[in-house]
Chains A and B, each alone.
Chain A
Amino acid sequence: MENMLYVNSSPHIRSEVTTQRLMLDVIIALIPAAFAGIYFFGFRAALLIAVTVISSVGFEYLIRKVLKRNNTIGDLSAAVTGFILALNLPPELPFWMAIVGSFFAIVIVKQLFGGLGYNFLNPALAARAFLIVSYGARMTTWTRPFTTAADIDSVSLATAADIDAVSFATPLGALKEGSNLPELMDMFLGNIGGSLGETSALALIIGGIYLIARSVISWHIPVIYIGTVGLLAWIMGPNGIFTGNPLFHILAGGLMLGAIFMATDYTTSPMTKKGTIIYAIGCGVLTMLFRLYTNMPEGVSYAILLMNVSVPMIDRCTKPARFGGKAHV
C-alpha cells in the first residue's frame, strides 16, 4: 500500500447534515414569508431584504477580518440573520437604519460575543429591539398593504398627521387603541399592517412545516409557544376569563415569525427537550403579559429575548437524568 492511511477516533461516518445546509434550509423556509411581504408591501420590501442580507454578510466578513479570525460567511448564518432582520422591520424603513440594524446584530451581538454559537441573544431580535429604542417612530410606522413607495414619498412624514395618511395600525395596535379589528382571514393571509415578513401566517406556517419536515427544528417550540399564547388569550379575555379569541392573538403581530424562526434559534434555545418545553411556555406567557398588561402593543420580541437570557439557567436545571441512576424494575 503506497498511500498513508487516515487514523482517527471513531465514528468514521458522519451524517449528511452540515451547519451550512441547516442555514440554507432556514433561508429556503423564509422565502414564502418574503414573497408574501413583497406581494403585500411592494418591491421595496425586496430591496430591504437585499440591503439587510448584503450588509449582514458584509459586516460578518469585515469584523472577522478585523478580529483576525477565519472567514465564516460560508456557513450562511450571517445571511440568515440579515434575512430574518428584514422580515422584522417595517417595510418602509429607511435603508440606512436597516444597515445600522445589521451592524448591531452581526458585530455587537454576534461577533463581539464570539461569533456563531456564542451569542446569548438572537442577533436579529436584539437588533430590532435596538432599532425600536433608537428610531421609535420609524420602527412603528406601519404601511397599509398595497401602498406604493410613491405614496410614502409624496408625504414628508414630517408630522403625525402625515404619517397617519399612509400608516395603518397593526391588529395589536388596533386592539390597544380600541379601534376596529381586521378580519381573521386577512390576518391569516397577511393582508394587514405589520413588519415585512410577519403578517402572513400562511406563508410562515409553510416555512415552519418545511423546517420540521427537514428536521431542522422540532415541533416543540413553535407548537408549545403558539399553544400557550392561544390558551392564555382565551383565558384572559376582554370580558372576563374564557372569553378571549385565541385565533386573533395567534395570528396577530410577530408570533408566527417569532415562534417558528426566532425562538427556535439553536444558540439561544435550551439543549434538552425538557428545557425546550419550559422555554416555549415561558415565551408564550411573557408574550401575553406584554400584550395585555403593558403599554406596548406587541411582546414577542421581548419575550423571546428575555427567555434567551434564561437559557443557561434552564439548561442547568434540566440536565437529563443519569442512565441507570434511578431504581430499576
Chain B
Amino acid sequence: MKFQDFKGGVHPPQSKNTMECATIKMDIPEKVVLPMQQHIGAPCKAVVKKGDTVKVGQVIGTSDAYVSVPVHSSVSGTVTAVTERIISGSRPVVCVEIKPDGLQEISEDVKAPVVESKESFLKAIRDSGLTGLGGAGFPAHVKLNPPKDLAIDTLIINGAECEPYITSDYRVCMENTENIIEGIDYVLQWTGIPRALIGIEDNKPEAIKKLKSAVKKTKSISVHSLKTRYPQGAEKMLIKTLTGREVPPGKLPSEVGCLVMNVASVAFVAEYLKTGMPLIKKRVTVDGSSVKTPMNLEVLIGTPVGDVFEFSGGFASEPVKIIMGGPMMGVSLYSDELPVMKYTNALLALNEKDGKIPEENVCIRCGRCVSVCPMNLLPFDIDRLVKANQYDDLDKYNVTDCIECGSCAYVCPSKRMLTQSLRLGKDILRRKEKK
C-alpha cells in the first residue's frame, strides 16, 4: 500500500550523532522536581506535603478530571518543598521537590495491574501516568478511548523521529523491540482495532529491519519505511503518508479512523502491564554544539536539566541556549534547573553560533514558506496580519490549522519568526472565540 506523501516539508541537517549510543542509566540526582502538570489537561493536586517520605512509584499528585493523569515519585526520599514554579510558558505550576535517599525503595502500590476488559485496561493506562511520549503530552487513556460513534480501524505507531538530533525513539526500537510489539498487541487486544502500522523514517534502516523481523509472525502489525522529510512524524502528516487520509481541520485522528501512538508509549504500556511500575523514567538524547559527549541517557523524571548535562560529561563550551525537545519544535528553557518531564525526549545545549537568534529582515516574497507548509497555509500573509494587528482577517487564513512544525521559519531567507507569528495568531483567535 503506497500513498502520496504529505506536501511540503524541509530537510534540516539530521545531526543524529547519537544513533549508535546505547542508552546509559543515569545516577539518582541530588533532588528531583516533579511538576503537577506534565500533560495536556487539568493539573494534578499534590497529595504529599513537606516532610513526607515517599517511595518509588508512589502517587504524589492526582486529579479527578478525566483529561489528566497522576504524577508518581521517581525516587524514594523526603519531600522538601511543594511550591509553585514557572516551568514553561508563563503560568506557574505546583511542583513537588524530593530529596532522594538513594535507596530507591519501591512503593507497595507498584504491582502489575489486573486487566480483563477495556475499562480496566483504560484505568490501568491512566494509573500508569502515561501521556503521549512523542512530545505533546496528551493523556494516553483519553486517546485510547475515542468517541463511540467513530470506528477506529488503524493504530499508527509513530517511530518517524523526524526531528534533528533526537535518537531516543530509535534506541527504544533497537533496545526494546519486544516491548513495542507486546505493547501494540495489548492496545489492539483491548481497543479492538484490527491493524497497526509502524512508520519509521528511512534514515533508520536498522530499526526498520529489526521491527520487520519482529512482526513476521503477526499479521495485524506491519512496518513501513517513510521518506526522511521533516515533519514526517507530525500526527497529521504520518496519517496522510500511511493511510492517504487527511484529518479534517480542528478534528482529531479518530475522525478518520486512526489512533496514533509513539513507539516509546507502546513500549511503556507493555512494561507497565507486566510490572506495574508507572512512568518515572525517560530515555533522553543529550546533544547539541555545546555538549562534550552526545549520548542517550535513561533519566528519572524530575531530574534537573543541568544535572543531566553534567552527568553526560558537561559542556565543551558555554551554552547560550538550552532546548527541551528537538530544535524544530522544542522549548527553549530559561534555566538549567528545570526538570526532565514525561514528554522530554531530548536535551540540547547550543553554543553561540547555533543558538543565537538571527536578525529579522523584510519579507522578499520568495514563497518558500508557502511551498514548505505541510498544512497549506500562507505563513508570510499571516505574519503580516499579526504584525500589523489586523486580527479580524486572521480567521480567513486558517491559522488554527497550523501544527507549529517550524518549517516556514526554518526555510525563511529573511529569518522571519513566522512560526511565532502563527502561534500568536492562533492564540489571538482562540481568545476571541472565548469572548
Contact = CB atoms under 8 A, between A and B. Distances in A.
A115 B363 CA distance: 10
A5 B335 contact: yes
A249 to B, nearest CB: 28
A318 B362 CA distance: 23
B327 A13 contact: yes
Nearest to B288: A12
Interface stretch (B170-178, B185-193, B198-206, B242-250): B242-250
Interface string B361-391: 1111111101100111110100000000000
A11 B419 contact: yes
B328 A10 contact: yes
B75 interface: no
Interface in A4-34: 5-15, 17-19, 21-22
A3 B256 CA distance: 48
A323 B415 contact: no
A307 to B, nearest CB: 15
A187 to B, nearest CB: 32
Interface stretch (B55-63, B137-145, B349-357): B349-357
B281 interface: no
B329 interface: yes
A222 to B, nearest CB: 15
A2 B322 CA distance: 13
Which size bracket describes the interface of A in this complex? 35 or more
Nearest to B348: A12
Interface in A275-329: 276, 319-326, 328-329
Interface stretch (B27-35, B43-51, B207-215, B402-410): B402-410
B338 to A, nearest CB: 11
A1 interface: yes
Contacts of A118: 362
A237 interface: no
Interface residues of B, number: 71
Contacts of A322: 249, 376, 398, 401
A59 B343 CA distance: 54
A115 B362 contact: yes
A184 B323 CA distance: 60
Interface string B285-317: 000000000000000000000100000000000
A88 to B, nearest CB: 21
Contacts of B24: none
Contact of A6 (B327, B356, B417): B356
B146 interface: no
B164 interface: yes
B336 A7 contact: no
A138 interface: no
* A contact face: mostly helix, strand, loop, or mixed: loop
A5 B334 CA distance: 6
Interface stretch (A39-47, A99-107, A164-172, A265-273): A265-273
B414 interface: yes
Given A5-B322, A117-B362, A324-B246, A14 B333 contact: no
A9 B320 CA distance: 15
Given A116-B362, A329-B245, A5 B319 contact: yes
B367 A323 contact: no
B285 to A, nearest CB: 15
Contacts of A18: 413-415
A11 B327 contact: yes
Contact of A323 (B318, B401, B409): B401
B409 to A, nearest CB: 5
B224 interface: no
A7 B417 contact: no
A121 to B, nearest CB: 13
B320 A7 contact: no
A246 B85 CA distance: 72
Given A10-B332, A14-B358, 6 more contacts: A6-B320, A11-B419, A15-B411, A267-B365, A269-B365, A322-B401
Interface of B: 10, 12-13, 164, 236, 243-249, 251, 256, 306, 318-323, 325, 327-336, 348, 350, 354-358, 361-368, 370-371, 374-378, 380, 398, 401, 404, 406-407, 409-415, 417, 419-420, 423
